[in-house]
Structure 1
Amino acid sequence: MLLRQDGDGVIAISQPSHAWLAGQLARGWGNAAFERPAPHEEVCLGAELHDIGWLSWESAPVLNPDSGLPQDFREVPVATHVDLWRSGVRRALQYGRYPALIVSLHADTIYGSYFQPGTASEEERGLVRALLDEQHAFQRECVAALSANPRHAGRLGTEALERNRLLVAAVDLMSLHICWGVRQEIRVPLVPTMGEGRTALILRSPGQDPAALTVSPWPFAADRLELVAEGRRLPGRFTDETAMRRALGEAETAVLTVTLSPG
C-alpha cells in the first residue's frame, strides 16, 4: 500500500492500483526515440500485474502502530515481502508465461539493493537470495518454453529481456511518484531508448500541481497521456487493526487523474 498525504488525512492506494497505472504508462510507451514494448501485450500486461502478489495483503492490511495507518509497502517485513512476490509470479503465470516472466524479472529490480552494504541483515539477504535463485530458475524455464513460439523470436535474448526489465522498472518508479504526488523534480534512471541505448527521464510538476506533470525527454506515442488510479481516503489514525480495516473498507473512493505532457 502507498500512502499519499491529503490535507490532514491520507489517501491509501493499493499496490495493484499503482501497478494498473504502471500498465497505462507501458501501453502509451514508444515513439521515434523510445522503442515500443515487445511483445507489446505481454510486456504491458506484465507491467500491470507486477504487484499482483499483494492482492491478499491489500484485502487485510496490517496496522502500523506507530503511524496509526496501514503499513506502507516499504514497512512490510522482508519475510512477508518475498512470500508475496512468490505468490505474484504464480498468479501472473495464470495469464501467460511471458507476463509471468516480466513479473519475475522485476524481482531483480526490487531486490538488487538488498545486497548493498548496510541495507539489510544477513538473514534478510538470505531470504532474498533464495527468492532470486528460484526466480532465475523460473526465468530459464520460461525462456526455454517460450522459445518454440515464433511470436517470441528475438524477444528472449539477454538484451531483449534486460530492455523489458528496465522498461518495467521505469514505469514502476514513475507510477510510484505519480501516486505519491509529484511536487519536485524526479529523475528516472536507466530508461531504455532504441537498441541498447539508455537515458534518464525527468518528471516535473511545473505548477506544483501533481495532476499536471511534464516528462523530458518524452517517451510516449501520443502528445499527451491521461492516467488514472484509485485510492481510499482515510480521515484519521487508528489504534485497532480491525477498526482500521473496517474504516478502509468503508472509506470514500479517491480517483486520482494525472495528465502527462512533454516538458
Structure 2
Amino acid sequence: MFVPTARLRAAQALLPIDHAARNSTSHWSYPRRMLKTQHAGKLWMVTQPDHGALAGFLAAHWGNEAFARPGHYAPVVDAERLRAQAVFAIAQHDNHWWEWEANPDLSADDGFPLGLGETSKNQQAGFDRWRLGLKRFAAEPMVNLLMSSHAYWFYAARVLAQSDPAFTSPLFWKGAPDKLYPGTIEAPLAFMEHLQALQSEWTAQLRADVATAAWVEPANLAPLTRLLQLCDGLSLALCSSLMPAKTGVSVGMGADAFELHNVPRRSWSDRGTITATPVGPRLIALDPYPFDIDPLPVTMLARVVTLPCEKPANFHSWWHAHERESVEFQFVSRK
C-alpha cells in the first residue's frame, strides 16, 4: 500500500519541471492553522483536537448492513479490538497539533489563531510536529501506523507523479493538488521515507503477534487507512470550508454538497461513492448512508465570534474566558 522508498526517489524524476514554479519566491508547506470559517456574519474557530474528536465519533458510528464496521473488513482474531484501535487512531489523527493549539501563533489581522491562508513557510516545523505526534503512543503500533498514513498520503498527493487515487484526500476530490517541483520536493520526500521506516517497524511488531498479524494485511489495513481519510473529510466539512463544493464557492459548516470517493463498503474490493447533500439547516443527507444510527446527531465544539469584533488585547485571557459552543448537526439517509 505504501510506495517503496526506491520508487519515491524515482517518482521525483517523473515530475515535470516548471521553471516558473522553481524560481518562485513562495513555496508550499504544511499549513499551521486553526480551523477558522467566516459564516453567517460570524467567525467560527474549531481546534484540531476538537475536529479530530468529531472524526473519531463518526468512526465509532460507522457501519450498518451496507457498510462494514471498522475492523470487520476481513478475518482477524478479534475484530472489535481492531475496531477500537482504528477509532482511537482516527480520533487522534491530528494530535501533533496539541502544543500549537495550546499556544498558537496569532494572526496580525484579527488577533486570533492563524487560519487558512495564514501559513508558515517552515516545512521542517511541520515535519517535527508529525514526529512528535507519532511518539505519543509508543505502545500502540497500529494506531501509529494509521496516523502516519494520514501524513504519508497527504504529502504523496503533492510529491508523487502518480499517487494512488484510492488514498487521495477527500479534500482533493475534485482534482489533484498542484505538484511540488525540484527545490521544494526534497524535504517532504525525505520525510515520507522517514515515515516508511517507522511504518516498517510498526508492521514488524504487529506481524510478530499472532493476534495482530492479520491487521496489516492489505484487506484490513487499506480500508482502515481510507476510513481515516473519509472521517477526516466529513469532520472538516462541518468544521471548516475546506471541502470543495460541487458547485460554487465552499461556505462550510455543513452547507456544501460534495462527494466521497473510494469508500469501502463490505471489503476493500467493494468500494463506491457517497454523495453528501444539504437538505436543511445543519442537516446533511448521505447517499448511501454509512452510520449505525439514522439520523446521527453530531456535535461540533467551536468558539464563535460575531463580526466585526475587536482584537483580543490579551489572547489567552480572552480565549479561556470564552467557552466553546455546541453546534448541532445531523447526518441522515437520503429518503
1:198 corresponds to: 271
Tell me the residue number matched to 1:186: 258
Q: Distance in 2 between matches of 1:128 and 1:246?
A: 37
Asked whether the equivalents of residues 56 and 88 of structure 2 are also in contact (C-alpha less than 8 Å), the reply is: yes
| In structure 2, distance between residues paired with 1:61 and 1:135 | 26
CA shift digits 1:195-252 (9 cap, x unpaired): 2122121122112x12x22111111122322222312123456668x73444223224
Residues matched between the structures, number: 259
C-alpha distance in 2 between matches for 1:140 and 1:62? 34
Change (3 A) 1:97 1:219: same
Distance 1:48 1:202 in 2: 23
1:89 matched to which residue of 2?
A: 134
* Corresponding residue for residue 225 of structure 2: 165
Structure 2 unaligned residues grouped into runs of 5+: 1-33, 72-81, 162-176, 241-252
Distance 1:66 1:254 in 2: 24
Distance 1:245 1:190, change over 3 A: farther
Q: Which of 185, 206, 211 in structure 2 is aligned with 1:151?
A: 211
Match of 2:288 in 1: 217
CA contact (8 A) 2:35 2:46 kept: yes
Residues 150-179 of structure 1 deviation map (CA, whole Å, 9 limit, x = unaligned): 332422113422211111000000100011
SS at match of 1:135: helix
State the 1:120 CA deviation: 3.9
Task: Kindly provide the amino acid, as one letter, of the partner of residue 43 in structure 2.
Answer: V
TM-score by length of 2: 0.71
Who wins on radius of gyration, i.e. which is larger? 2
**Deviations 1:39-74 (CA, angstroms, capped at 9, x unpaired):** 100000000000111000001111232465421266
Partner SS state of residue 286, structure 2: strand
Question: 2:302–2:325: 8 Å Cα contact kept in structure 1?
Answer: yes
The aligned amino acid for 1:102 is: L
1:121 Cα deviation after fit: 5.5
The worse-fitting range, judged by mean Cα deviation, of 2-11 and 65-74 is: 65-74
Match of 1:64?
107
Change (3 A) 1:206 1:111: same
Q: Structure 1 CA distance, aligned partners of 2:116 and 2:203?
A: 30
Q: TM-score, normalised by structure 1?
A: 0.88
Deviation at 1:103, TM superposition (A): 0.5
Residue 154 of structure 2 corresponds to residue 110 of structure 1: yes
Equivalent residues of 1:31, 1:221 under 8 A apart: yes
Indicate how the Cα distance of structure 1 residues 237 and 82 shifts in structure 2: closer, same or farther if over 3 A, else same: farther
Distance 2:42 2:139 in 1: 37
* Contact 1:61–1:245 (CA under 8 A) maintained in structure 2: no
Q: How does 1:32-47 map to 2 (within 5 A)?
A: 32-38=65-71, 39-47=82-90
**Structural RMSD (CA):** 2.3
**Structure 1 67/125 Cα, relative in aligned 2: closer, same or farther at 3 Å?**
farther
Give me the whole-angstrom Cα distance separating, in 2, the residues matched to 1:238 and 1:83: 34
**2: distance between equivalents of 1:255 and 1:127?**
39
- Structure 1 position 28 matched with structure 2 position 61: yes
Q: Which amino acid aligns with 2:292?
A: A
Distance 2:277 2:146 in 1: 28
Structure-2 change in CA distance of 1:118 and 1:98 (3 Å): closer
Cα 1:138–1:74 shift into 2, 3 Å: farther
Structure 2 CA distance for aligned equivalents of residues 238 and 150 of structure 1: 59
Cα distance in 1 for partners of 2:99, 2:131 equals: 13
Q: Which is worse superposed, 105-114 or 14-23?
A: 105-114
Counterpart secondary structure, 2:143? helix
Match of 1:79 in 2: 124
Following TM superposition, by how much is the alpha carbon of 1:262 offset from its aligned partner in structure 2, in angstroms? 0.6
Of residues 302, 314, 320, the one that matches 1:249 is: 320
From the two aligned structures, give the one with the greater helix fraction: 1
| Stretches of 4+ aligned residues off by more than 6 angstroms | none
CA distance, structure 2, for counterparts of residue 249 and residue 150 of structure 1: 47
